[in-house]
Amino acid sequence: MNDSRVQSKDTVPNRRWRKVAARLVEMDRREMLERGRHELSKRTDAFLSGFGFDFARGAVSADAAKQGRFFFSAESVASILSVLRKRLPQQVEQIQKQAEKICNHRFDLLGFENLDYGDPIDWHLDAVHGKRAPRKPFHKIRFLDFQEAGDSKITWELSRHHHLVTLAKAYRLTGDSQYVEELGKQWSQWHEQNPYPIGINWASSLEVAFRSLCWMWVFHLLEGSPALSPDFRGEWLRAQALSGRHIERYLSTYFSPNTHLLGEGVALFFIGTLCPELKSAAAWKQQGWRIVLEESERQVESDGLHFEQSIYYHVYALDFFLHARILAARNGMAIPEQFDRTLTRMLEALCWLGRAGVPPRFGDDDGGRVFDPLRNRGEHLPDPLATGAVLFQRGDFKFVAGDLREETIWLLGSDEAVRFDELPAVEPSWESVALASSGLYLLADSKTRQQVVIDAGRQGRATAGHGHADALSLCLNREGQNLIIDPGTFEYVGDGPDRTHFRGTSAHNTMRVDGLDQANPQNPFAWTNLTETRAERWIKGETFDYFVGSHNGYRRLSSPVVHRRFVFSLKSRLLLVRDVAEGGGEHRLEIFWHLAPELQHKMQRKSHSFVSANSGITLLTAEGHGWTEEVVQQFWSPAYGCKERAPVARFSTKAKLPAEFVTLLFAHGGSAADPGELTQIEENTAAVHGYRQRGGDGEHYFLFGPGEQRWSLGPWTSDAEFVYFGANPDGRRELIFCGGSYVEIGGRPTVSCEEVASRCEIVESNGGAAIFADIKPVSQHLRLEDISLESDPVLWANDLHGPKGSAE
């Protein structure tokens, strides 16, 4: 029956209850009990608040207790301010400018600037979207529902009270009482508008934790100054007691057991350490420190990266760990060696990622920071390295960090600024690195200070809430300049087109099939059909790096597809990316390259160049490839809530599978040389593929075989998975093969090994020769300089396509 008057039984409430039922089935007994306790406690608190119950009653002990030690003492503030004025005058100026705006109730939050919050400030308002969260018990507020609460991140960002810290710093820098007067007004107004447990600002325990930490900074910045009234500590302690109670009761043990739980643990540790007058202080200190140590083991992979598969969240978590570690040491606590090893690994991973420029921003960009929320752009990601350099006396961390940070001075003291200066900066190693647990592969070159980072890791933990559909995407930096970028996140709001696009496959430097993302977006913080990515081959050579990876994201299609990507880096010269769509049937294929916003597109004879004043990159594709190619302006997001235009190169086709596409990338200075031409070598089998690039720097041949069997293509015969041969005008000759035992050219044995080698490379230059291989012995039967590309017809000097290829 098709009657429009008949309502479907699958209503929104029904779907919601089905999800709840399914989730209950997944829970173990401990989780069910904990969640049940949370729900009962929330309702009990709401009930008690209706009778005016004082939730902080009796929390402060009458017995005086010795205060814990903050990062700095009241007596050391003057020396820290002196260092700031001398070393970071621009930062001092920025603090004062921000303080002036704050006094006028105009705020820079996340990537949004100059937001007007009125007088008095409306602490429940998302001023960007003009939406106000309802004032009701926090557990009844659907804070992820845009229609009800707007973008809760914006509302929460203001109520984290980082700006109160700015006012306190501005007062200490200038002595101007207007800043502490404004601070006091906002402190009082916030508490009046946010009585516990009413309003969105109590809905997330992490937000309560952030606010508590900022209150710590405010108190200790003002301590010992005329601005701090004698009775403020009592009021402050009551506020911290209420925060600690809330955090302890509603820990994100199961809701968001990631940076949420970590931040909550850090806040409990701080409250317990710095507020010993509170009756629960000792328990909170112990519980908070335990959470910090446990989460350092659980949330950090063996390679040092955070398990969210997000570079921004890696730095976010590292900030929390560093602050907790420094405060613990400041208060005479023993620091477990394993904890320091974890922090060192996290810093080392960040150092690797940042040695060639701004680290790639794979995964979600949260926009928040523990110390200064305005340092939330890509160029600020290396900030923890400055603190790590002093803390662990690492010159390589200092080299990548560059200069001292304000945060480091406050955390470690003015004397540590001298230690930072005295520490010799040591350029980090430029070896290529596999962060295998997280699936990031770093192809580096010391000559050009170039680095390619390939994402071949899992999409994320659990439902990959902060992961993107970016399997096999890559980014490229050269000499500190971003060339191929990850466009970022923009915002978390709802299921709208921006959230969907920025975390989708087309916003990354990889292949999309049939217009679909590699996984299915379920909601703004969950995916279904998570992509599994596998690194199949990773080889580090003397003159090259070679990576092969694949993912199963499109196996879910009725006609399944596997995307396999081959990346060959001939260090300091070129990068070859070969994308293969394996499967059957006809499919729409697209490959995207997102370029840095400052690069301008210039079409050359047979290539696309993107250049700025001092850097650039050229994309060369095979002649006659048959794919549609276009360069358009699309959005990228330098910070949460901010989007700007940047060039994107897109290649697309509708083809029967298997199908492939090869791109040669040449990173260079401001001017781009003509890269010549790239031609596919004709073959009669899908098992063997070859390409030749011929330009001003010579000729390069790239041959891909099936591996583990003999194959031929033109004059080339081998059993290797990959063969490269290059000849430069200066006489340099190179032969590289991977996953094989021999190569013959024109029927003449050239090089052979007694067994299959993962890599073998021969380099001849200036009359000398060198052989590098992972097994011995290696026999070279033919000198590479005896091969004449101009005169030998079997090398396609006159006949490009030569004999047909075959695999046996």
DSSP for 416-453, please give it.
Answer: HHHHHHHSPP-PPP---EEETTTTEEEEEETTTTEEEE
Report strand pairing: 722-727 vs 698-704.
Answer: antiparallel
The DSSP result for 572-629, as a single string, is TTEEEEEEEEEESSEEEEEEEEEBPTT-EEEE-SSEEEEE-SS-EEEEEEBTT---EE
- The terminus-to-terminus CA distance of the chain in angstroms comes to 61
Q: What is the DSSP string of 696-715?
A: TTEEEEEEE--SSS-EEETT
Burial of 21 per CB tally in 10 Å (0-12, 13-18, 19+):
exposed
pLDDT of residue 18: 57
**Interval 458-479 mean pLDDT:** 94
HSE (side-chain half, CA atoms, 13 Å) at 530: 16
Report whether pLDDT(335) > 60.
Answer: yes
What is the rounded average pLDDT of the residues 674-679? 91
Place of tokens 């080889």: 539
Span 340-378, pLDDT tens digits: 999 999 999 999 999 999 999 999 999 999 999 999 999
Q: Which residues pair with 662 in a beta bridge?
A: 578
d(CA 492, CA 473): 21
pLDDT of residue 507: 98
- Mean pLDDT across 616-620: 95
- Whether the pLDDT of residue 503 is over 90: the answer is yes
Sorting pLDDT into bands at 50, 70 and 90, what band is 17?
low
pLDDT in tens, 27-71: 777 888 888 898 999 999 999 999 999 999 989 986 767 889 999
Amino acid making up residue 463: T
Domain boundaries in the chain? 299-429, 433-670, 676-808
| 679, 751, 785, 786 from 727: Cα distances, Å | 16, 17, 9, 11
Report pLDDT for 11.
Answer: 53
Give me the pLDDT at residue 461, please.
87
Amino acid at 462: A
The neighbouring-strand residues paired with 653 are: 589
Which residues is 306 bridged to in the sheet? Answer: 300
Compute CA distances 487 → 153, 360, 369, 748, whole Å: 20, 9, 20, 49
Residue 506 has pLDDT above 80, yes or no: yes
Answer yes or no: are the C-beta atoms of 244 and 274 closer than 8 Å: no
> Class assignment of domain 433-670?
mainly beta
pLDDT at residue 1, rounded to an integer: 35
Residue 806: its pLDDT value, please?
A: 57
Peptide bond into 276 cis (omega under 30): no
Would you state the pLDDT for residue 725? 95
- What's the whole-number average pLDDT of the chain? 91
The rounded distance, in Å, linking the Cα atoms of 363 and 359 is 12
Ramachandran angles phi, psi of 642, nearest 5°: -120, 135
Q: Is 739 left (phi over 0), alpha (psi -120 to 50) or beta?
A: left
Average pLDDT of the residues in 596-604? 92
Structure tokens at 720: 């290797």
Whether residue 156 has pLDDT greater than 60: yes
> In sequence order, what are the beta bridge partners of 453?
442, 475
Q: Do 112 and 641 touch, CB atoms closer than 8 A?
A: yes
Q: Residue 798: which pLDDT band, with cuts at 50, 70 and 90? A: very low
Residue with tokens 């499919």: 587
Tokens representing residue 451 in the block: 């680095």
b/e per residue, 567-597, with b = 16+ CB within 10 A?
A: bbbbbebbbbbbbbbbbeeebebbbbbbbbb
Rounded Cα distance between 429 and 184, Å, is 50
User: DSSP class of residue 782?
Assistant: S
Q: How confident is the model at residue 788 (pLDDT cuts 50, 70, 90)?
A: low
SS3 label, residue 677: strand
781: which 2 tokens? Answer: 């039967």
What CA–CA distance (Å, rounded) separates 567 from 546? Answer: 6
pLDDT of residue 49: 92
Find the range with the poorest average confidence among 216-225, 384-393, 623-632, 673-682: 673-682
Average pLDDT over residues 414-420: 94
Across residues 206-235, what is the average pLDDT? 95
Taking the CB of residue 435, how many other CB atoms lie within 10 A of it? 21
Residue 599 in this model has a pLDDT that exceeds 50: yes
Judged on CB neighbours under 10 Å (0-12, 13-18, 19+), 554 is buried
- For 461, counting Cβ atoms within 10 Å of its Cβ (0-12 exposed, 13-18 middle, 19+ buried), the class is middle
Element spanning 751, H or E: strand 748-757
Q: Is the pLDDT of residue 417 over 60?
A: yes
What length does the chain have?
808
Residues above pLDDT 70, as percent of the chain? 93
Q: Is the pLDDT of residue 605 over 80?
A: no
